[in-house]
Amino acid sequence: MSGGDDFLAAYETPRLARLAPNLFAACFPLMKLLPARFMLERAQADGRLRSGGPVAETTSGTFGLALAMLAAVRGFDLTLVSAASLINDTLRRRLEFLGAIVHIIDDPEGSGAQRERLDRLNAILKDRPETFWPRQYDNPDNRLAYGRLAEGITHEIGHVDCLVGCVGSGGSLCGTGGFLRELFPELTMIAVDTHRSVLFGHAAGRRLLRGLGNSIVPSNLRHEMVDEVHWVGALPAFGSAHRLHHDHALFMGPTSGAAALVAAWHARKHPEAVTVVILPDEGHRYQNTVYDDEWLAALDGWPVAAPDEPETLDRIEARGESEWTRLVWDRKPAPTMIKAERGV
Amino acid sequence: MVSGKSAPSGRRSDGGANGTGRQTERWLQVGVGRAMAHHGELLQGVFEGADGRLHRGLITLPLAAQQSLVTFWPAGEDDIRTRPADRGKAARAAALTLEHLGFANVGGDLTIESDIPVGHGYGSSTADVMAAIRAAAAAAGATLRRSTICRLAVEAEGASDAIAYGDQTVLFAHREGRILEHFGGEYPPLVVVGFRTGGARPIDTLSLPRARYDGQEIEQFRVLRGLASHAIRQQDPRLIGRVATASARISQHHLAKPRFEAVAELARAHGACGVQVAHSGTLMGVLFDADEGGVTTRTTALAKTLRQAGFKGIVTFAVNVDGVFLK
């Protein structure tokens, strides 16, 4: 460790914004720095990663950015594997400026090339067996990293009744929620997903809202902890991000928009309960997309009439990008829920 | 704290032998010191220090009604003898204190009068050590900072607790004898129904193996520390009760209290804030909000239920509450 990199803590420390009397938002500049740093430090502590050693990961988003920042500051040798449909030039250039080697897999149909990315990663691991692969989807240290967020929440807010968060790896929601439930067993946990993500039983398909959802089910997602799941389409998520900016001067990314939409609805419905929502990153990366009128105008269905509340489903069902649905999940394990759905 | 007549005895080691006849000798007097018991902890685990490393630490639950009272009678230059006879740690603590204050080779008698039961986690040994340090300091006409008392206690005993801090809430590194965090406040107002679990036989609390916490528990302790800080700032007994219960649950993996879940259920049924334990001892306590209406009725009912269930040493005491509250 090169030391003297405490300034990175500012990226992983959320500001708490009170959006309503009973609604607090934990606004992160770059949330993924929290698990990235924790995983690398734990790996160094137990010898899975040596100082300055090689690190490789398959990622298309902010986890890769966080790893690249750490690699730059702490002198790791980082290789990232992404897919053409998942990464834009701006991010790729930023990663490369930070010193990361970026492999990009071609995926003309925009599938995300999950399988091919893993194949490439395995080839890298085979080539250099001393490489540390953080495996954010399955590494339990991902969830453990969120003790720091839960500490900030209890320190500043005290009692919490409901936690709302996006799910991609499951680390932030299930990690933070798990720590809070040791103190508040009755805590309601609401997962925010998007249509055609497989996390809560949709068939995989093209998704316009990136940074949450997944085309595989990570083991850091603990379905049996989740009380309620919301599927937010890309358009209401974008609209909500705009409102966060306009009403609260919070310049956050589109997944933050999705989470804030769900949290504000829950807080309105439960005025006596304290709701906390995790907003994982800022809007800068989306300046030319979600915050660009021309880009938005080209979207089918934009401008969207902002729904006030979700449609409550009684079965798992994917909808269009303009829609917002919810299902009472009731802390069931995934197979139970999905089998019941299929009438097995 | 000083009583009795001046008793010529040990002398200050510097300035005593310069042969000028203008010695700056300071004479020791009879000194008295007190220290209170505790009723285990509200929180115990490992916590990050300012140095970024993990330290074992705790928040003590003070039990002011039971005390150790130590009197030091300086006499001669031989050993410090104790009454009762087998209190070597207290004698050592008194000697270390006098040495710290510049008195070498002091002998005398140390009388320990304590109503704190031994070997259940009430901190009887530490209370004797702290009271001995205060008695020795009083004998020298000196006052000591709390941090100095703790450091001397660790030197005498190998561990200490936060009892020197009295009604101030601190996160205390008991193996090192120093503060990890000043929470900057007093305890939220609590009424505690305390009792002993398991065998009535005393145990050697200091020789218990140290808990080895896993990664999940270590990160959980951060969250408990965060809520403890909030609860003390807001003087919120409900939230400090949540902290204590969660800490006690983790302790179940290391030094399990028999019938823990049954007690937790009784606590819920009686409208308590939570349960706490002595992490190295047999004590458990049920915490109530002292300001809540009907608290006396509920603590009385719980004490009765616990007695019927066969628990021993049931005592009701208050922390940071007006008046006398001891049954």
| A300 and A160 fall within a common domain | yes
Task: Give the 3-state secondary structure of residue B266.
Answer: helix
Prediction ipTM score: 0.93
Query: Chains A and B: how many Cβ contacts under 8 Å?
Result: 58
Contact present, A69 and A100 (Cβ < 8 Å) = no
Query: Final residue of a domain: which of A127, A157, A179?
Result: A127
Cα–Cα distance between B293 and B144 in angstroms, integer?
41
Check if A9 contacts B (Cβ < 8 Å). Answer: no
Q: Where in chain B is the domain with CATH 3.30.230.10?
A: 2-181
Residue type, A21: P
* Token code pair at residue A10: 């500012």
Task: Give the 3-state secondary structure of residue B256.
Answer: coil
Q: Domain for residue A36, yes or no?
A: no
Task: Give the 3-state secondary structure of residue A180.
Answer: helix
Instruction: Name the phi and psi angles at B161, rounded to 5.
Output: -135, -175
Residue A113 belongs to a domain with what CATH number?
3.40.50.1100
The residue ranges of DSSP E strands in chain B, in sequence order, are: 2-6, 29-48, 54-74, 80-83, 108-114, 168-173, 178-186, 190-196, 274-277, 283-289, 312-319
Query: In angstroms, what separates the C-alpha of B159 from chain A's closest C-alpha?
Result: 28
Our count of domains for chain A comes to: 2
Given an 8 Å threshold on Cβ–Cβ distance, is A179 in contact with B230? no
DSSP secondary structure, A227-289, as one string: SEEEEE-HHHHHHHHHHHHHHH---B-HHHHHHHHHHHHHHHH-TTS-EEEEE-BBSGGGTTT
Task: Give the 3-state secondary structure of residue B133.
Answer: helix
Contact present, A253 and A286 (Cβ < 8 Å) = yes
Q: Which pLDDT score, from 0 to 100, does residue B201 have?
A: 61
Chain B residues within 8 A of A154 when measuring between CB atoms: 223-224, 226-227, 230
Check if A148 contacts B (Cβ < 8 Å). Answer: yes
Cα–Cα distance between A187 and B64 in angstroms, integer?
36
Query: Final residue of a domain: which of A66, A99, A127?
Result: A127
Q: pLDDT tens digits, residue range B178-222?
A: 999 999 889 999 999 999 987 656 666 666 678 889 999 999 999
- Which of B215, B216, B222 lies closest to A151 in CB terms? B222
- Residues 160-199, chain A: which have Cβ within 8 Å of B? 179-180, 182-184
Domain range B187-319, its CATH number among 1.10.600.10, 3.30.70.890, 2.102.10.10, 3.30.540.10: 3.30.70.890
Contact present, B321 and B287 (Cβ < 8 Å) = no
Q: Domain for residue A104, yes or no?
A: yes
Chain A residues within 8 A of B236 when measuring between CB atoms: 158
- Secondary structure element (H or E) that encloses residue B150, with its range: helix B146-157
Given an 8 Å threshold on Cβ–Cβ distance, is B220 in contact with A182? yes
Given an 8 Å threshold on Cβ–Cβ distance, is A183 in contact with B243? yes
Check if A144 contacts B (Cβ < 8 Å). Answer: yes
Task: Give the 3-state secondary structure of residue B268.
Answer: helix
Chain CA centroid to CA B129, Å: 10
| Chain B residue with the nearest C-alpha to that of A150 | B223
| Chain B residue with the nearest C-alpha to that of A154 | B227
Residue ranges making up the domain that contains A225: 6-31+140-341
- Which of B218, B220, B226 lies closest to A155 in CB terms? B226
Q: Which pLDDT score, from 0 to 100, does residue A344 have?
A: 43
* Residue matched to tokens 């270390």: B96
Given an 8 Å threshold on Cβ–Cβ distance, is B242 in contact with A157? no
How many other C-beta atoms are found inside a 10 Å radius of the C-beta of residue B49?
17
Contact present, B83 and B109 (Cβ < 8 Å) = yes
Chain B residues within 8 A of A155 when measuring between CB atoms: 225-227, 229-230
Q: Which pLDDT score, from 0 to 100, does residue A133 have?
A: 97
Chain A residues within 8 A of B249 when measuring between CB atoms: 182
Q: Which pLDDT score, from 0 to 100, does residue B1 have?
A: 38
Instruction: Label residue A257 exposed, middle or buried (CB < 10 Å: 0-12, 13-18, 19+).
Output: buried
| A197 and A286 fall within a common domain | yes
Cα–Cα distance between B327 and B314 in angstroms, integer?
9
Q: Domain for residue A1, yes or no?
A: no
| A231 and A311 fall within a common domain | yes
Q: Domain for residue A132, yes or no?
A: no
Chain B residues within 8 A of A13 when measuring between CB atoms: none
Task: Report pTM.
Answer: 0.91
| A249 and A155 fall within a common domain | yes
Q: Domain for residue A134, yes or no?
A: no
Q: Where in chain B is the domain with CATH 3.30.70.890?
A: 187-319
Chain A residues within 8 A of B246 when measuring between CB atoms: 182-183
DSSP secondary structure, B175-213, as one string: TTTEEEEEEEEEPPPEEEEEEE-S-SS---GGGSPPP--
| A103 and A212 fall within a common domain | no
Task: Give the 3-state secondary structure of residue A88.
Answer: coil
Chain CA centroid to CA B107, Å: 27
Q: Which pLDDT score, from 0 to 100, does residue B204 have?
A: 65
Check if B216 contacts A (Cβ < 8 Å). Answer: yes
| A145 and A201 fall within a common domain | yes
Q: Which residue intervals of A128-233 are DSSP H helices?
A: 141-144, 147-156, 171-183
| A233 and A257 fall within a common domain | yes
Chain B residues within 8 A of A152 when measuring between CB atoms: 226
- Residues 225-254, chain B: which have Cβ within 8 Å of A? 225-227, 229-231, 234, 236, 238-239, 242-243, 246, 249
Q: Domain for residue A42, yes or no?
A: no
Q: Given the DSSP bridges, would you call strands B168-173 and B178-186 parallel, antiparallel or unpaired? A: antiparallel
Check if A141 contacts B (Cβ < 8 Å). Answer: yes
CATH code linked to domain B2-181: 3.30.230.10
Report residues of chain B scoring pLDDT below 70.
1-26, 199-208, 324-327
* Token code pair at residue A50: 């040596």
Q: If you ran DSSP here, which 8-state letter would residue A308 be given?
A: S
| A73 and A19 fall within a common domain | no
Query: In angstroms, what separates the C-alpha of A178 from chain B's closest C-alpha?
Result: 9
Query: Final residue of a domain: which of A98, A127, A156?
Result: A127
| A295 and A241 fall within a common domain | yes
- Which of B216, B223, B236 lies closest to A183 in CB terms? B223
Report residues of chain A scoring pLDDT below 70.
1-5, 110-111, 337-344
- Which of A154, A179, A182 lies closest to B230 in CB terms? A154
Check if A318 contacts B (Cβ < 8 Å). Answer: no
Given an 8 Å threshold on Cβ–Cβ distance, is A183 in contact with B249? no
Cα–Cα distance between B133 and B128 in angstroms, integer?
9
Task: Give the 3-state secondary structure of residue A91.
Answer: helix
Residue A68, C-beta contacts closer than 8 angstroms, at least 6 positions apart: A78, A80, A94, A95, A98, A99, A100
Chain A residues within 8 A of B264 when measuring between CB atoms: none
| A100 and A169 fall within a common domain | no
Check if A147 contacts B (Cβ < 8 Å). Answer: yes
| A178 and A84 fall within a common domain | no
Instruction: Label residue A114 exposed, middle or buried (CB < 10 Å: 0-12, 13-18, 19+).
Output: middle
Q: If you ran DSSP here, which 8-state letter would residue A302 be given?
A: P
Check if A251 contacts B (Cβ < 8 Å). Answer: no
Termini Cα distance of chain A? 52
Q: Which pLDDT score, from 0 to 100, does residue B327 have?
A: 45
Q: Domain for residue A332, yes or no?
A: yes
* Length reported for chain A: 344
Given an 8 Å threshold on Cβ–Cβ distance, is B246 in contact with A156? no
Cα–Cα distance between A310 and B293 in angstroms, integer?
42
Chain A residues within 8 A of B218 when measuring between CB atoms: 147
**Complete edge-to-edge strand list for the sheet that includes strand A54-58:** A54-58, A77-83, A101-105
